[in-house]
Amino acid sequence: MPPSPTRSSRQLSTIVHASPFVMAQRLMDMALATQPPSGRDQREWNRMFSEKGSAAVEAWWAMVNAMWLAPMSSSAWTLWPNPWQYWTGLAHAGDRILAEGLKPVARTVSANRTRLARRGSSRR
């Protein structure tokens, strides 16, 4: 019996399926851009760069928060835990930590795919 998919694997699947479309659409837009770039093109490029930065920072903070809270969610948590309990709890929470870090990236890529597909169909 194959293992059940984890939350992080579903998010990775979303990223893997949506990102090639987003990259192709944006590269095509860059190739077709006028010289000098129009206001629409400049807004899209600024959005692209700011979204990448904000998704990376949001992912980093989500992973730090999940790492911080992971040992506390284990049943072995006490008021004065020993280091072994901390690292054991952290090791068991690996998928949850990864999933929290992938969540903003998957959300951004999926939203961009939807938005760019809508915009691309209205352009024709």
Question: Whole-angstrom Cα distance, residue 29 to residue 62?
Answer: 32
pLDDT at residue number 67: 82
pLDDT at residue number 90: 67
> What are the pLDDT digits (tens) for 26-57?
899 888 888 888 888 889 889 999 999 999 99
| CA-only gyration radius of the chain, Å | 20
Structure letter (DSSP) for residue 80? S
Nearest to 40 by CA among 54, 29, 25, 31: 29
Please give the structure tokens belonging to residue 108: 């951004």
pLDDT at residue number 77: 53
The DSSP annotation for 46-79 comes to HHHHHHHHHHHHHHHHHHHHHHHHHHHHSTT--S
